[in-house]
Structure 1
Amino acid sequence: MSGNELAGSVVGIIGGHGWMGRALGLALLNQGLVSPRQLVVSSRSGGDAYNAWPKVRCVNDNHDLLALADLVVLSVRPDQLPALDLPVGDKPVISLLAMVSSAELARKTGSGRIIRAMPNAAAQIGEAYMPWHASAATSRADRAAAQQLLSSCGKARELATEQDLDYMTALTGAGPAFPALLASAMLAHAKQKGISDAIAFEAVMQTLVGGSRLLEHLNADPEDMVNRLIEYRGTTAQGLQCMMDNGFQSIVLSGLEAAYQAAKP
């Protein structure tokens, strides 16, 4: 992809004041990928997310948005989709909905040019992982525009099959939820040992964030790092071995499998 694939296109975000729609809209504006006049958002609740961009068109009726937009982004909850009337026609549709297949989206919108993507909450700070899959009817230009649009909030990656996307909904769609569960357990243990709330929070957050950044920087196999630390036979090895012996990996696999089964349309 080269240049601005969104140049000249009007992007319409249905649910543009929600957490993901807002993150995406503001990222597109802040990075100059679209001008304010190229962005139109609809929302039942409204909001002040675009006050700094008065030329962004905010509408209450999705039909008004569809009349203006060249590319439509669906950023609503899956349970809200049945109530929406979306005569999109032959425009490309980028869906950020979990558990809604491309076939169902095509029936709902009348468009065969469907791109399903799975965001996560880290989009708010431009650090999301955004896997996506395009239907056969999408053009090369559609896919290039989707890659650029989704990359505005982090790292975007096209997947080979829709089934892969369903799995990634479980693996990456949870965003900070799985690290937050680990952080919660670590905080609870630190507090049990008498560490103050402020110091415990600071220590746990820095440990998780710093460790994650180190793994990314080293670009190494995490399993290799675990094995090296176990072989060192220090305090870390004792903790790791105990967690592994008590089924840590099995619990993680079971949790991911449960999320994957729930993510299937």
Structure 2
Amino acid sequence: MTRLGVIGGGGWLGKALLLPALADGVIAGEALTVSSRSGTAAGFAPWPAVRQTKDNAALAGDADVVMLSVRPQDLDAITLDLSGKLIISVMAMVSLDDLAARFKARRIIRAMPNAAAEKRLSFTPWLASSDATDADCVFAERFFNASGQAQRIGTEAELDYFTALTGSGPAFLAAFADAMISDAVAKGIGRGIAERAVRQLFLGGSALMADSEQTPAEIVQAFLDYAGTTAAGLEAMAAADIRTPIAHGLRAAAAKAAAGTRKQ
């Protein structure tokens, strides 16, 4: 039985990852220890054997795997010797090399879930250090698949880009939705109705795209070929060069992730 300790496991991301993994039996309640600032975190009542603590050293001492689920700026406050253990980090901007140096560890996995993990809909890219074992990688794949879809990748440069593409992506979609809501309100539609309409649009559109055998590009082309009102809107967006600001946003977020990783 793998004994997992999660530093910061009482936070929203820690719980978003842990609750599905507990529900699916990827980890057992009696094999999980969660640390938080208060020492108690809500949400674990269905698994009364889960241990909660403020003491990160005690957590690490009882764990085979230590997951770091804290803000990067809080990492300096964590001083532990994790040699011989598997580290799993879900932090942006903290490299494999920095984690190895800080915690005297060689078996390390970095992953980048997103906010949809709490709905079991995260896309989570992850990569492993050269010393991570096959068993380490199997555990990581199973753990992150519980909260969505896991995908192993090969380099930290890829992880920096995915930090923008899928890590930040839910907020980018929210920004697009807000722009649509604002335009509807400007046209006289009540804000509450506009918000309901756009939320449902994104829910339904996402489900249709996820289940479609067509690529997103093929879906767009199908509507262009139909030459109706949707085509008119798509053509106007293309004429306004909608792709450029999206690319700028992705590049900026990826550059922030890469710059932080290099500073470590």
Fold-level similarity (TM above 0.5): yes
Partner deviation per Cα, 1:93-133 (whole Å, 9 max, x = no partner): 11000001000010111111010000100011111111000
Q: Which deviates more from structure 2 when the two are superposed, residues 216-225 or residues 101-110?
A: 216-225
1:193 is aligned to 187
Residue matched to 1:26: 19
In the TM superposition, 1:34-45 aligns within 5 A as: 34-45=27-38
Shift of 1:52: 3.5
Instruction: Answer with 50-59 or 235-244: which moved more.
Output: 50-59
Deviation of 1:72 (Å): 0.8
Distance 1:54 1:227 in 2: 52
Equivalent position SS for 2:52 = strand
TM-superposed deviation, 1:39: 0.5
Which runs of structure 2 are paired with 1:81-160 in the superposition (5 Å)?
81-160=75-154
Aligned pair 1:208/2:202, yes or no?
yes
Paired residue for 1:177, among 141, 159, 171?
171
Whole-Å Cα distance in 2 between the matches of residues 224 and 144 of structure 1?
35
Asked if 2 retains the 8 angstrom alpha-carbon contact of 1:122 and 1:175, the reply is no
TM-score, scaled to structure 1: 0.94
Deviations for 1:193-214, whole angstroms, at most 9, x for unmatched residues?
Answer: 2222232122111212211111
Cα distance in 1, alignment partners of residues 216 and 139 from structure 2: 33
Residue 86 of structure 1 aligns to a residue whose secondary structure is coil
1:4 aligned partner: none
Deviation at 1:248, TM superposition (A): 0.6
Answer whether contact 1:118 1:130 (CA < 8 A) is retained: yes
Q: Secondary structure at the match of 1:130?
A: strand
Indicate the larger mover: 79-88 or 49-58.
Answer: 49-58
Q: 2:4 is matched with which residue?
A: 11
Supply the distance in 1 between the matched residues of 2:31 and 2:169 (Cα, whole angstroms). Answer: 29
Pick aligned residue for 2:216 from 212, 222, 242: 222
Q: Percent identity?
A: 43
Per-residue CA deviation, residues 133-181 of structure 1 (Å, 9 max, x unaligned), is 0010111011001101111111001002221111111100014201101
**Aligned equivalents of 1:260, 1:73: Cα separation in 2:** 23
2:156 match = 162
How well do the aligned residues superpose, as a CA RMSD in angstroms? 1.2
TM-score, structure 2 normalization: 0.94
Alignment partners' CA distance in 2, 1:232 and 1:40: 56
User: 1:193-248 CA deviation, whole Å, 9 max, x = no partner?
Assistant: 22222321221112122111111111322112212212322111111111111121
- Unaligned stretches of 5+ residues in structure 1: 1-7
How many residues matched?
258
Unpaired segments of 5 or more residues in structure 2?
none
